[in-house]
Amino acid sequence: MSEKVGPFIEDYNGNDYTCVTFIPDLKKFKLRKMSDDFIDLLKKRVYDLAGIVSEKVKVFLNNKLVDV
């Protein structure tokens, strides 16, 4: 976490929205690939987030709306 890359920002002329993409640094966690348990944990966090944010906020996981 001591090294980071700047944000990738594109011009956009449609409706306002914010897209956050998470790409884990596998080396940092000494992993060669994401285990099923790790993926399940990340999915749980996304569902937790979808359950606590305003109804105005749409949460997507792998381009699918998380409807809670």
Average pLDDT over residues 36-52: 94
Percent residues over pLDDT 70 in the chain: 99
The residue type found at 56 is: K
**Full DSSP string of 3-51:** -----------SS----------TTTTT-SS--HHHHHHHHHHHHHHHH
For residue 66, what pLDDT is reported? 95
Average pLDDT over residues 23-49: 90
- CA-to-CA distance for 51 and 45, rounded, in angstroms? 10
Locate the domains of the chain by residue range. 36-65
pLDDT tens track for 2-30 = 777 888 888 888 888 888 887 888 888 78
Q: Average pLDDT, whole number, for the chain?
A: 87
Phi-psi region for residue 26, left (φ > 0), alpha (ψ -120 to 50) or beta?
alpha
